């Protein structure tokens, strides 16, 4: 089906059970019945950026930490024991050489374990850094565009954060050879349904391999939290809108990987589960050392623990055990 802007807007406004059931059917048909599990390791909450919505922004007064190499490897071992196909190393954006080297070293160690695929989510970096991490063994990268509308992007970031630079980083990732994931926050202040429709069209035009999108959740003390009155609807409503975004994207791009994010679970325990039955096929359980999780707070009410119902949905996948994006395989490797 050809998804026009008008069609997407009308589904975002009115899509219900029929839309969800169709997305679930298409998901099972194209990327399979089982859910892929990707262990989330929150590597550091140090960040040199100052995004107006984020709890670990440079100006936040939180206790900062960085995991040791051994702590990361212990989490990866846990992921291997649990049978997870991939791990994500996520953290604040730091461009210092010591950080670039540390990630390179850790990625090399994980690759040597013949373990899960390594996904990185460490912000905007130079093309050279992306290349070094890729050569060390990282194969996927998550970098959300946050909003594809440059004007909205400018309102939720300080003046020295650049939309064009972010786009360039996404292009660098693609050129380097990564499976590229992006996504947006849903229910941001000043964001319209039309703007979200453009976000979905942006993702199709960029031909992304993976998507992670979730509701925007206020984080106390951040500049954007004080614009609560400008925010479009309750958190519950933002969650419902996120489910519609997931379902529509599944129909627009049937063979990509779509995550049902932790932020959905923060609204209610069932929301993330619902995401997995309306188009999403990836869940990202947090496997960071538990004593440090309290310091990695991007938004309020962050959930802890792995929902056992999600573990049940993950079935061993003999054909694609590491949960690669089918879209990527079709485009880059000419397989399937």
Please report, as ranges, the residues that interact with ligand SF4 according to CB under 6 A.
47, 49, 51, 54, 56-57, 92-93, 123
Closest distance of CB 180 from ligand SF4, Å: 17
Residues 23-52, one symbol each (x = binds ligand SAH by CB under 6 A, - = not), give ------------------------x-----
- Between 12 and 297, name the residue whose CB sits nearer to ligand SF4: 297
Helices (H), the chain: 5-14, 17-30, 69-82, 97-112, 127-136, 150-155, 163-176, 193-206, 235-252, 262-267, 269-275, 308-313, 326-333
298 binds ligand SAH (CB under 6 A): yes
The closest of 252, 251, 246, 291 to 264, measured between CA atoms, is: 246
124 SS3 class: coil
Closest distance of CB 17 from ligand SAH, Å: 26
Residue 313: half-sphere exposure toward Cβ, Cα within 13 Å: 24
185 binds ligand SAH (CB under 6 A): yes
133 binds ligand SAH (CB under 6 A): no
Closest distance of CB 54 from ligand SAH, Å: 4
Q: Which does residue 57 touch among ligand SF4, ligand SAH, none (CB within 5 to 8 A, set by kind)?
A: ligand SF4
Q: Which does residue 219 touch among ligand SF4, ligand SAH, none (CB within 5 to 8 A, set by kind)?
A: ligand SAH
- Between 48 and 330, name the residue whose CB sits nearer to ligand SF4: 48
92 binds ligand SAH (CB under 6 A): yes
- Between 54 and 200, name the residue whose CB sits nearer to ligand SF4: 54
Closest distance of CB 297 from ligand SAH, Å: 9
Q: Which of 10-18, 141-149, 232-240, 316-324 is the region at the interface with ligand SAH (rule: CB under 6 A)? A: 141-149
216 binds ligand SAH (CB under 6 A): yes
- Rounded Cα distance, 86 and 76, in Å: 9
Strand 282-283 versus strand 210-215 pairing type: unpaired
Q: Is the dihedral of CA 303, 309, 313, 316 positive or negative?
A: positive
- Rounded Cα distance, 71 and 139, in Å: 21
- Residue in 45, 86, 90, 281 binding ligand SAH, rule: CB under 6 A: 90
How many other β-carbons are positioned within 10 Å of the β-carbon of residue 70? Answer: 10
53 binds ligand SAH (CB under 6 A): yes
- Between 49 and 109, name the residue whose CB sits nearer to ligand SF4: 49
Cβ proximity of 247 and 278 under 8 Å: yes
- Rounded Cα distance, 169 and 324, in Å: 21
Cβ proximity of 282 and 319 under 8 Å: no
Cβ proximity of 289 and 71 under 8 Å: yes
- Rounded Cα distance, 284 and 310, in Å: 10
Closest distance of CB 255 from ligand SAH, Å: 23
How many residues sit in the footprint of ligand SAH (CB under 6 A)?
19
- CA distances for 307 relative to 85, 161, 226, 247, 270, angstroms: 17, 36, 32, 22, 10
Closest distance of CB 71 from ligand SAH, Å: 18
Q: Which does residue 299 touch among ligand SF4, ligand SAH, none (CB within 5 to 8 A, set by kind)?
A: ligand SAH
213 SS3 class: strand
Q: Could you list the residues that contact ligand SAH (CB under 6 A)? A: 47, 53-54, 90, 92-93, 121, 123, 143-144, 146, 185, 214, 216-217, 219, 263, 298-299
């Amino acid at each position: 089906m050809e998804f026009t802007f008008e069609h997407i807007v009308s589904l975002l406004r009115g899509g219900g059970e029929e839309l969800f059931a169709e997305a679930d059917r298409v998901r099972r048909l194209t990327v399979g019945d089982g859910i892929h599990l990707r262990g989330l390791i929150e590597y550091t909450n140090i960040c040199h950026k100052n995004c107006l919505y984020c709890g670990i922004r440079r100006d936040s007064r939180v206790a900062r930490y960085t995991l040791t190499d051994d702590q990361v490897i212990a989490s990866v071992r846990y992921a291997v024991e649990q049978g997870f196909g991939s791990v994500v190393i996520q953290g604040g954006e730091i461009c210092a050489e010591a950080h670039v080297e540390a990630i390179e070293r850790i990625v090399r160690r994980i690759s040597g374990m013949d373990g899960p695929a390594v996904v990185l989510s460490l912000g905007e970096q130079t093309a050279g850094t992306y290349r070094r991490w890729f050569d060390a063994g990282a194969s996927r990268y998550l970098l959300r565009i946050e909003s594809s509308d440059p004007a909205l992007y400018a309102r939720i970031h300080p003046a020295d954060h650049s939309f064009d630079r972010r786009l360039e980083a996404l292009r660098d990732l693609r050129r380097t050879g990564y499976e590229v994931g992006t996504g947006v926050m849903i229910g941001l202040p000043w964001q319209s349904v039309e703007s979200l429709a453009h976000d979905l069209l942006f993702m199709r035009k960029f031909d992304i391999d993976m998507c992670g999108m979730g509701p925007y959740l206020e984080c106390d003390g951040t500049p954007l939290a004080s614009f609560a009155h400008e925010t479009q609807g309750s958190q519950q409503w933002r969650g419902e809108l996120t489910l519609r975004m997931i379902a529509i994207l599944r129909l627009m791009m049937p063979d990509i990987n779509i995550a049902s994010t932790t932020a959905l679970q923060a609204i209610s325990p069932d929301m993330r589960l619902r995401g997995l039955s309306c188009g999403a096929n990836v869940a990202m359980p947090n496997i960071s050392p538990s004593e440090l999780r309290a310091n990695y707070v991007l938004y309020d009410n962050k959930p802890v623990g792995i929902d056992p119902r999600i573990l049940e949905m993950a079935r061993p996948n003999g054909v694609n055990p590491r949960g690669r994006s089918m879209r990527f395989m079709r485009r880059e490797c000419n397989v399937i």
